[in-house]
Structure 1
Amino acid sequence: MDIGIVSLRWLGHHTAHTKWTIKSLTELGHNVHLFTPKDHEFIGEFEDIERMTVCLLPSSPNEKQSPIQSYIESLFYRHRCFTEIFDSNIDLDVLHIPSLDQLQIPFLFTSTRENPPFPIVATIHRTDPFQKFKNDTVLSNKTAKNILRHPPRRVTKYATEKLVADETIDRLLVHSEQMKQRTVRKFHRIEHNSVRVVPNPTPPIQQDVSQREARKKIGIESPDPVLLFFGTLRHEKGPDILLDAAKMIKQPSTFLFAGKPGEITERDVVETNTNSEVNIKSRLEYIPENEVDLYFIAADCLVLPYRNQEGISSSLRRACMANKHIIGPESSDIGTTIEQNQLGQTFETGSVESLMENISYFLEENQKYPKKGVSSYAKEQHYQNAGKELEIIYSNL
């Protein structure tokens, strides 16, 4: 098959998710056409993929504008991108949008003006891509953006329902059963059989190094247990909760923060490093894909102090591939996944004290935790399994 993949975003999990979706398909013998902007910052991550052609779209708009201007311009820009894809004259068997979140409005506008010339498959990661979190006073400097969320939220809900109910999108994909049930409940016009659960394509650990060697490569010499926070240090991911918990830990340990700074910066991390029992290390920048494995091999435990309830972190799956223990928030998709698959522990969402207690318990009892559930879940999420399921879905359209 000739398969189109759309990637208009590349920060956070987007580049890795797109890359391993593509590899899962090319390794099955399919040809993939990647539609992505000329200014994709991490396009080099795709260089080693055979049977893939890059189809360049216009560069993304300048974000150095007011929030209202940026949002409106992004809608027109994304409409232009979809129009170019529809008019590309590439004979595709299917077009897959691996992250439809916040693209529903421009995609509906484009497909209303011009019928898509090929079947459409799209994946959503949240039922509300404009989700606002409780107690987010640290976002006060983004008040205009927060106000802007409300009209787009309603229109996005309408657009999502219409695209699927009218079969403009032939199949809607999600990555967990919880997300499927929530999608059907929230979007009343979307029927149960229109939504499919597929594995989130996750690569196995490819670096053949010991934990000690991995630690040395990333600058950690301590023999103490390492607790990893991996990803952009945004408020909804709760890095501040983990930093506050680190202040109260009594056992010798290393807390490692790896990812781009967000609302939490290098200065915040440095100022927290006052506990004599805890060593806080950080690398606050984008971690290239070929170095990601080292962080998960080096760690003993992945901590996900997330505030948001929807979505399953790509870091969780990468940690499972490395056979690591996981601590995450209860009453969330992450917490449900941890509990149902016996991946580790859950703590009370947003509670510094609860997180501290769970970390302390892990540091005392970490050798007693079975890893069977972790390895089983890792096999389910392997990118090759995702490719096989996508192949079936595409073939049945």
Structure 2
Amino acid sequence: MKISVLNAGQQTDYLYGFVSGLSAIPSLEIEVVDSDSSIGVMECLPNTTLYNLRGNNTAEESLQTKTLHIGRYYLRLLSYAAQTKSEIFHIQWENSIALMDRMVLPLYYKLLGKKLVHTAHNIDKDARDGRSNFFRRLSLGIMYRTMDRIIVHTSKMKVDLCSQFHVVPEKVAVIPHGLNNRIPRRGISQEAARKKLGIKPDAHAILFFGQIDKYKGVEYLIDAAAALSHDDPAVVLMIAGKPKRRTNYAAQLKLQAANLLSENHVLLRMEFIPADEVETYFAAADCLVLPYTMIYQSGVIFLAYRFGLPIIATDIGSFREDVLEGETGFICKPGDVHDMTAKLQLFFNSHLFRQRIRTRTQISEYAEHKYSWSDIGRQTFAVYASLVKKS
């Protein structure tokens, strides 16, 4: 069986894990359609060929240049689809233009006789990003109805997808998000990591990691860390990640942190964190906090678990399905600074913190088993096989 994975230059870490799981199946031939981000990443995987149709999609470009590049990419994609012998197109992420990605391209693929699978990493990212309107929601519904099968990561996502977009449950498969296995893990000690970042050895270090955007609720975490620091002088808040959009949100966060936290209580690095530096932040931290106000799933969970780091997450989306209360972390109320502060206090007084070496080992072992890419590959292959069998 030959399949194509369409990634649109998004989330290379997820793509690598996903394809590594699929490539372990000898009877499966995989074509990955992606961007410069996958060069040097996919070539090491068996039965896998990379088609770099997108090129560089991360560079800062003028509107005219960006429009030219996107247009050229769509033409390459149309040509590729007409020529490939792949029976199944697995669409991981959308490209740039809703009309093309959600309506024109899926219909074109169907006319070519392709079976379509889509992984809905977020059921409605437009609503999450505050950009939802009648057309965007209509086009998203049309895309979901065009798919032969849809994959979501949790049971809640399946329920919401079926209820909000009238998708029949039989069309939806629940397959978990896999553990991040691309970011290097070299085993740096907490002591060495803290020395590298300039954090005291006895600090109570709280980490926010990832792209910075309004829906992630970082302002609530800053308030909670400030409140906690009044009673716990060892508290240090680390915020590491690049602002996702050109807004004043990051500037507001910097001002808020400067007003509420002294220099020895906060470390801000609001920029892209290279892959070989990521482990340093997770090793230095005692816990990761996801203060999000709206989302279904976050890949940062599976990055934290790779390093055995406990998580305090808000009770939104499907976080409760992946953060096990008292075992891998704690759940707090979204947008509630008092409750977030209380859960941070609970964590630092719990066995998860007191026995942190043991905790990290247990979380890593649990995650390696539950979020195995080999298992995910087999489950996904079963979805493909059911479609080929029907045809």
Q: Does 2:208 correspond to 1:208?
A: no
Q: Any conservation in 1 of the 2:311–2:328 contact (CA below 8 Å)?
A: yes
Q: Distance between the aligned counterparts of 1:382 and 1:319, measured in 2?
A: 15
The letter of the residue matching 2:313 is: G
* Secondary structure at 2:127 match in 1: coil
* Secondary structure at 2:84 match in 1: coil
Q: Distance between the aligned counterparts of 2:381 and 2:153, measured in 1?
A: 16
Residues 217-256 of structure 1: pairs in structure 2 closer than 5 A:
217-250=196-229, 251=232, 252-256=234-238
Alignment partner of 1:85 out of 71, 80, 83: 80
Deviation of 1:51 after TM superposition, in Å, equals 4.0
Determine the structure 2 residue equivalent to 1:186. Answer: 164
Determine the structure 2 residue equivalent to 1:327. Answer: 312
Determine the structure 2 residue equivalent to 1:21. Answer: 18
Structure 2, unmatched stretches of 5+, are none
Q: TM-score, with normalisation over the residues of structure 2?
A: 0.80
Determine the structure 2 residue equivalent to 1:131. Answer: 127
Determine the structure 1 residue equivalent to 2:285. Answer: 299
Q: Deviations over 1:121-178 (max 9, x none)?
A: 1100222221157xx8xxxxxxxxx4xx313333224313431xxxxx2211001111
Q: Please, which moves more after superposition, 230-239 or 214-223?
A: 214-223
* Secondary structure at 1:242 match in 2: helix
Q: Please, which moves more after superposition, 252-261 or 358-367?
A: 358-367
Determine the structure 2 residue equivalent to 1:142. Answer: none
Q: Does 2:110 correspond to 1:153?
A: no
Deviation of 1:248 after TM superposition, in Å, equals 1.7
Q: Deviations over 1:33-56 (max 9, x none)?
A: 22124xx45645546445432212
Q: Please, which moves more after superposition, 28-37 or 175-184?
A: 28-37
Q: TM-score, with normalisation over the residues of structure 1?
A: 0.79
Alignment partner of 1:171 out of 145, 149, 168: 149
Q: Please, which moves more after superposition, 245-254 or 329-338?
A: 329-338
Q: Percent identity?
A: 22
1:307/1:45 Cα in 2 relative to 1: closer, same or farther (>3 Å)?
Answer: farther
Deviation of 1:279 after TM superposition, in Å, equals 2.3
Determine the structure 1 residue equivalent to 2:239. Answer: 257
Deviation of 1:305 after TM superposition, in Å, equals 0.4
Deviation of 1:196 after TM superposition, in Å, equals 0.4
The letter of the residue matching 2:287 is: C
Residues 326-365 of structure 1: pairs in structure 2 closer than 5 A:
326-339=311-324, 342-365=327-350
The letter of the residue matching 2:283 is: I
Structure 1, unmatched stretches of 5+, are 137-145, 164-168
The letter of the residue matching 1:199 is: P
* Secondary structure at 2:4 match in 1: strand
Determine the structure 2 residue equivalent to 1:318. Answer: 303
Alignment partner of 1:289 out of 269, 275, 278: 275
Q: Distance between the aligned counterparts of 2:193 and 2:20, measured in 1?
A: 25
Q: Deviations over 1:14-47 (max 9, x none)?
A: 121112111222233444322124xx45645546
1:357/1:277 Cα in 2 relative to 1: closer, same or farther (>3 Å)?
Answer: farther
* Secondary structure at 1:249 match in 2: helix
The letter of the residue matching 2:241 is: G
Q: Any conservation in 2 of the 1:301–1:326 contact (CA below 8 Å)?
A: yes
Determine the structure 2 residue equivalent to 1:389. Answer: 379
Q: Distance between the aligned counterparts of 1:199 and 1:41, measured in 2?
A: 24
Q: Distance between the aligned counterparts of 1:368 and 1:248, measured in 2?
A: 25
Q: Does 2:39 correspond to 1:53?
A: no
